[in-house]
Amino acid sequence: MAKLGLATLVAAGYQGASAFEIAAARPNLRQSPVARTPAADALPPPDQGASFAGASAPGAFHLAGAVTATAAMVAATLRRARKPVVGGNWKCNPESMSKLDGLVANINACDTSKCDVYVCPSPLHVAYCADKFTNGAEVTPQNCNFKGCGAFTGEMAVEQMKDLKIEWCLIGHSERREYFKEDDELLATKLKYILDAGMKCVFCIGEKLPEREKGLEATMAVCISQLEQIKGLLDPAKVVIAYEPVWAIGTGVTATAQQAQETHAEIRKWIAENVSPECAEGIRIQYGGSANAKNAPELSACPDIDGFLVGGASLKPEFVDIVAAISAAK
């Protein structure tokens, strides 16, 4: 996510702009040092305005106010720019290839005009599904290795995915962490491997019930430990974070909208403080704990929830309603 230059903020603030084109304010080395623009003409001349340092003249206060107000509008624009994203994780389902066409039809019934959609078939079904979606839904394998093709029995390589025109991969799901002992260091290595190959990634994080029962601080301690080793790799254009409270996965128990929102907000705050404000505002954070058609509208109304990673409900026709709910809310 490009950073807005101060000149852009000031100019927009003095013009009373209400929307921004998110682009870097880069100096043009071919231009003269001072270029006259309508925005520049709106600024007070040097003999009427005060300097930034130790200024007390009215012009300085107006300028500071313009910058502050404009920065707030930039943040709001970035929030609006986060296109919702909903993923369907089929896990190790279905048991028969004969059921795939019905599941594919459910996904193709989704209106993806206002929401990105991806689907995570089981490894044996990835190739079959790779060219079946007609609405732009992305096939997203549930795992990959970190070595590439070769003598790595039981693994999948991103090179194989790219050959199938696959652009996304999901890693870090709690079931991979729990049952297959994938730790934070390994997952950081995998993420770098995926991004270096030119692919994009859905990266899962989340706490277990004992941490949640201790409160938000303990919950965030887990999420931070899972994010710490990948913070240098977070890029809103290439990485989606899926926050999945482990205690709510497959249990039918869903975090309340308040619990989900406060955790998403804290994750975004941590990214702002440890990566950059631009990354925090631009990166999409999904909720992944037993989302379904019934709770999707309320969760979608939360400002820091940008989508869902859906498990069991992605195997049902109601997946269409989940996509519709967040499309309408955002």
Kindly list the catalytic residues.
173, 244
Which segments within the chain are labelled E, that is strand? Answer: 85-89, 116-120, 138-139, 168-171, 200-205, 239-243, 284-287, 307-310
Q: Rounded to whole angstroms, what are the CA distances from 68 to 12, 47, 51, 64, 76?
A: 11, 23, 16, 6, 13
Residue 61, token pair as written in the block:
């206060």
Q: How far apart are CA 83 and CA 327, in angstroms?
A: 9
The answer to whether the beta carbons of residues 142 and 91 sit under 8 Å apart is: yes
Q: How far apart are CA 104 and CA 123, in angstroms?
A: 15
Q: Rounded to whole angstroms, what are the CA distances from 282 to 64, 115, 276, 279?
A: 24, 15, 10, 5
At 185, which amino acid appears? E
Q: Tell me, what DSSP letter sits at residue 329? A: H
Would you call the peptide bond into 44 cis, given omega within 30 degrees of 0 as the criterion? no
Q: How far apart are CA 232 and CA 186, in angstroms?
A: 15
Neighbour-count burial for 226-242, b at 16+ CB within 10 Å, e otherwise: bbebbeebbebebbbbb
Q: How far apart are CA 173 and CA 143, in angstroms?
A: 9
Q: Tell me, what DSSP letter sits at residue 90? A: -
